Structure 1
């Protein structure tokens, strides 16, 4: 089973921190950690609770959230009232994957979380991704992924996003995409019949080959 994306909210406003935590908790594929309210608490949480993603305010009682993003070594979104161009550039230079200016609609954060989940499905493993996969992951994260081809269903596009860099079985793709194994296999077989994905056989200990699907090299 794919582990949920452990997400930490860092905001000194207890009410806002709770709202953002609840949005994360409701997002498919995410687990919300208890929010923290200072950089000292955030540093301890990164060390002790190993979040995969942090959502960080800029103006915190004991320092600058953007500098924390630069130093923490964890994927991050900056969620802040600082909407001036210099702050946006600074957060991007620090490595933030998104910069949302408060107040923002709940859907704006939901969309960024969904993009991050898809981005992580492609680049979250240990395999070396191909350039096309890197480009696709970055396009997804920044909301500029190409429109779905009219020859593909939306579900088939989700299957492609869930394949990952090293290929996967139908069961693995189904788990990542949130559909049944049978549904994933049906769409993967259809994609393979059109040459959009390749089918490879992996012989396990039982001697029965497992079908694994991958993007063409």
Structure 2
């Protein structure tokens, strides 16, 4: 069981992330922190396997937390989870050795995919085996070196998927209904494609609140 430290200054968001983590097989939230100082203290005491780390904290940035951990020689896995979209923030996360980066708001399946990938990499690196190029390519996220895209889920076509992605990339953001009109498919079909790309990280999601249920607005990432 991999132990996870959840760090977010928003108590409600932190609790949502905690509950998400505890739904994923092989992962368990061992501690929740709401400041950078508390995150560092918890990391030193509980020694988690993974930290879900927000960038915007009240006393320091998540990047500073990450830098402090690395300066102390702590190799703990870190996934940055934040609303920050600035390129320098992403660059800083990569430079600090973050394992991944997930932009808010996100859904359970997106987080699950990130944690499953993290566990697969950790298991591969911990295995007593030799390496070859396929092994290295898989670790570094280049398993599809032939240029082929990952297989589509049953019922989704590659050509329509390309049209849906083109529609998303050609707009600042859009709803499933707007995407359906642009591509010439049903709203239900458009929603299926958009949700697939949401789980793969090809598109992001913003919930637009108003009267009734929030509208799901998709954008390219």
Q: Determine if the TM-score, normalized by the shorter chain, exceeds 0.5.
A: yes
TM-score (norm 1): 0.59
Structure 1: 5+ residue runs without aligned partners? 149-217
Measure how far apart 1:134 and its partner are: 3.2
Q: Structure 2 stretches of 5 or more lacking a match?
A: 70-74, 152-221
Give the match for residue 109 of structure 1: 111
Taking the TM superposition and a 5 Å limit, the aligned residue runs for 1:166-181 are none
Tell me the residue number matched to 2:123: 121
Matched, 1:63 2:60: yes
**Is 2:54 the counterpart of 1:52?**
no
Given candidates 22, 29, 32, the residue that maps to 1:32 is: 29
Measure, in 2, the Cα distance between the counterparts of 1:27 and 1:110.
Answer: 6
Query: 1: CA distance between counterparts of 2:49 and 2:59?
Result: 23
CA distance in 2, matches of 1:52, 1:43: 14
Q: Where in structure 1 do 4 or more consecutive aligned residues deviate above 6 Å?
A: none
Q: How many residues align?
A: 144
Question: How far has the Cα of 1:24 moved from its partner?
Answer: 0.9
Which residue matches 1:22?
19
* Residues 11 and 60, structure 1, Cα contact 8 Å, conserved in 2: yes
What TM-score comes out, normalization by structure 2 length? 0.58
* Alpha-carbon RMSD: 2.6
Distance 1:44 1:119, change over 3 A: same
Q: 1:61-99 CA distances to partner (integer Å, 9 max, x unpaired)?
A: 110101212331311001111112221122111111111
